[in-house]
Amino acid sequence: MQITPRAIWAGMAAMLLLSAGTADAHRMLLGYKVNELQLKAMYDDGTPAQGAEVVVHKDGQMIYNGTTNDEGELLFHPEDDLGTLTFISSAAGHRAQLSLNIEQEKTDAEMPLAARVAAGLGYLLGVAGISMIYVTRKKGR
Amino acid sequence: MVHIADGVLPAWMLAAGFLATSVLLYFSLYKIDAEEIPKISLVTAALFVASLAHFPVGPTSVHLLLDGLAGMMLGRRAFVSVFVALALQAAFFQHGGLTALGINALNMGIPALLAWQIFRRRYAFELPSREFAFGALAGGAAVLLAALMVFAELLAIGEGFREISILVLASHVPVILVECVVSGSAAGYLATTRPEMLCTTNYAQI
């Protein structure tokens, strides 16, 4: 049985290229979409901020404004990814700002698929290479 | 679906899976020669990326296994190849979990050994395209057995019979057909162009 190093290289390179076009992998993912968001404006002693004005900004543009109820609460129905929105509440000189970019942090932490494929193939190529060197040395003696 | 994730199966089943896997690993690595490793690595690389080629079937998503082809090319060494490929998939793609690695290796590795045993029976027949016929048979049988094993394990932990029948068995019917074509064509092609890539009887005999 004879397998040349070139054949191993070519095979692994072909597999890397084939996998590069695949968008995702075969594991289950659980996603979510927030259809309703309950905002609560309060002061630092816990008193609800009644009748506070809440504005929602997306990319610097105001897309929504509303007023909190007696409990300091306001229901908002987001249509966009929450990570892109900024919420600002203001009442009589008080002002608070809120951004929800949990989702962005999560995706940033993950390696791209092509890199993960390359890492796995790299291990296998390494094992193949070491065994080839070993066999060549053994034959040389 | 052949990858069982972490936290699905009970601890005793995971432990039994690792135990049986270590026995089969010993059998698979018995008297291995360094010259065989490059070929094993190449087949392992194919198994490693095979699960990325997936397609939706009904309510679930399935992918090629290629374990039958691994059995035909590697013989008894196919089990170690499957084990390494699954370990890399668990580490890099989170396909299946590391605690379920033992069970997943059995689910994929035993069918690979079955495919090897089916494929080596081809010498008894004098057909012009026996490599294609036996390759297709072995490839399809390997997927069928893998699906049946997952089915049995999920049934044993009390999953609903109807749900897993659909999600595991019915959804793998297209995979069986695709693997028949892929494994048969690969075996037929290798038999005419690179017969040494198929498992020959000069090593890896039981």
For residue range B118-176, what is the model confidence (pLDDT) as tens digits? Answer: 998 888 888 888 889 999 999 999 999 999 998 898 888 887 777 777 778 888 898 99
Query: What pLDDT is stored for residue A23 in this prediction?
Result: 47
So where are chain A's domains? Answer: 34-104, 111-141
pTM: 0.75
b vs e for B22-49, b when ≥16 Cβ sit within 10 Å of the residue's Cβ? eebbeebeeebeebbbbbbbbbbbbbbb
Residue of A nearest to B63 (CA): A26
Q: Which residues of B touch A1 (CB under 8 A)?
A: 35-36, 39, 196, 200
CATH number of A34-104: 2.60.40.10
* Domains recognised in chain B with CATH numbers: 11-197 (1.10.1760.20)
Mean pLDDT, contiguous 10-residue spans, chain A (141 residues): 73 72 62 80 74 80 82 80 76 72 55 84 90 87 72
Could you say which residues of chain B have pLDDT below 70? Answer: 1-2, 59, 201-206
Query: What pLDDT is stored for residue A101 in this prediction?
Result: 67
What is the value of ipTM here, to two decimals? 0.73
B204: closest CA among B51, B73, B102, B84?
B73
With an 8 Å Cβ cutoff, are B44 and A3 in contact? no
CA distance A109 to chain B (A): 14
